Amino acid sequence: MNSSVLYDAPGPRARRRARIGSVLALLVMAGAVYVVVQRLADRGQFEWELWGPWLDPSFEEFPLVWNLVREGAVATLVAAVLSIGLSLFFGVLLGVARMRLGRAARIPLVGFIELFRGLPVVITIVFVWRAFEELDVDLGPLPGGVGLWYLVIGLTLYNSVIIAEILRAGVASLPSGQGEAARAIGMTESQVMRTVLLPQAFRVMLPALISQLVVILKDTSLAALVGSFYIELLSRGNQISQNLDNPIQSLFIVGIMFILINYALSKLATWVERRMSRSYTGSDALTTVDDVVPAT
């Protein structure tokens, strides 16, 4: 029997109870799914007239629907790419600044981070939208339209502080001897942070960072809830459902599209993580002080 230092291996009676509980849970879930499907069928939600505009090219609306979806998907990806890039850039700056500044100097920075970390992201987006409108700030010269930048700035404000905290936690998780050894051979604080701590911290925090990037992409859909200033994928889905009177079908397919996009992003990020791990483990390790400070 396998055992663990954290818990005792379950005995025959515990395993039997676990199997019975699993079977009962599956039966309850299957019953709930059956009830939902049956009620949808009774209300005609599986009629082909409701699904056809999305799935059948013979319908007149089919090309119009997918043209709108394509425009919405492009708008979602543009907002997500901009938000991810800016959030990473400002998140790293905020994280490094919080670790480098003195106690008194970082009080305003900590206040800024805690403020936007505590606000729901939808409130941040609405705040940016209304603040720019009330202050009459002209974002027209920027490419993509003002609506895009309301969404991007709101997402950047929220996610950059989250990434800053992820970075700080990654650096804090490293052994203290890493920085001490670098300082002992004469590196400046900037060199220690840039060449020793940050590269290792990025590897440590990569799983959390990947999850946050997926969250950023999903949060672009909040533009559909706070106003019509930016028409992304979910907004297009709402428009289509209102015109075709099939909200369940339209939002179901849009939801599947979000799942596929997020899955592709997760796989891409996992591939990058593996590449980084291989390049890190395949690099030559520094074994002597002479590798860092050549002898004169």
In CATH terms, the fold of domain 77-237 is MetI-like fold (1.10.3720)
What is the percent of the chain with per-residue pLDDT over 90, rounded to a whole number?
35
Residue 129: how many CB atoms within 10 A of its CB?
22
Lowest mean pLDDT among 41-50, 121-130, 209-218: 209-218
168 versus 292: the higher-pLDDT residue is: 168
Contacts for 238 with CB less than 8 Å, ≥ 6 apart: 224, 250, 251
CA distances to 163, 192, 209 from 205, in Å: 9, 18, 6
Most confident of 155-164, 198-207, 257-266: 155-164
Per cent of the chain over pLDDT 70 is 90
pLDDT at 5: 54
Query: Given pLDDT bands bounded at 50, 70 and 90, which one contains residue 289?
Result: very low
CB contact at 8 A, 95 and 106: no
- pTM for this structure? 0.79
pLDDT at 143: 83
Segments making up each domain of the chain, as ranges: 77-237
- Quickly count: other Cβ atoms within 10 Å of residue 272's Cβ: 12
The whole-angstrom separation of Cα 119 and Cα 181 is: 39
Give the gyration radius of the chain's Cα atoms: 26
- H helix and E strand count, the chain: 13, 0
pLDDT higher than threshold 90 for residue 269? no
pLDDT at 295: 46
